Amino acid sequence: MDCTDPERGALRSRKLALRRTVLANRKLTDQPERDAAGRSIRDAVLSLPEIQMAGTVAAYLSVGTEPDTRGLVYALWKRGTYVLLPLLQTDDDLDWASYEGPDSLATGPRGLLEPTEPPRGVNAVTSADLVIVPALAVDRGGMRLGRGGGSYDRALARVGACIPTIALIYDDELLDQVPAGALDQPVRMVAQPREGIIRLR
């Protein structure tokens, strides 16, 4: 059942308030902390049995105060994994292209680093054996809070039910509940710097 306009407005307000809180907290972390968090998350993700068996992984390059993912993306590529990275479209949907090392990146829309290889289409994510996504917060049921554009919810909606999906967050960003609507897509795991991998309901 669709939400009424007041319900949608209330949901947007709750999401916005939580985004502001998380982003304010993230600004309190300095670059060395973010780099250390990225290394811990990298090691946790690389130890996953599912990722060791994955031939293709869809991932992303971190921006701003997100836990650093460049080391993770590079490590996956160096071990021979086929890595797909997103290309942001004008409608905020995500196309995908292959990562071929640090020299295969260029600045794209909104200052984001993107692969320079040919786009493979929005459905390329369906070829991934594991999908890694950003999040501002995730709850214990797997619902994630993104930045509000819906890009990754659309991508996750294309991913098969049996494909592992994992969000990378800081340790205080796994919550009891995250505000979510009908179009919001859950993830199956989170990776955190101290706690490592947590499998969700």
CB 134 within 8 A of CB 64: no
* 5-199 under CATH 3.40.50.10420, yes or no: yes
Task: For residue 144, give the H/E element and its range.
Answer: strand 144-145
Could you tell me the end-to-end alpha-carbon distance of the chain, in angstroms, rounded to an integer? 23
Instruction: Give the contacts of 44 (CB within 8 A, at least 6 positions apart).
Output: 191, 192, 196, 197
| The pLDDT value given to residue 3 | 54
The low-confidence residues of the chain, meaning pLDDT below 50, are 1
From 112, 134, 127, 133, select the one nearest 82 (Cα to Cα): 127
Q: Output the pTM of the full model.
A: 0.94
Question: How do residues 54-86 score in pLDDT, each as one tens digit?
Answer: 999 999 999 999 999 999 999 999 999 999 999
| The pLDDT value given to residue 5 | 76
| The pLDDT value given to residue 1 | 43
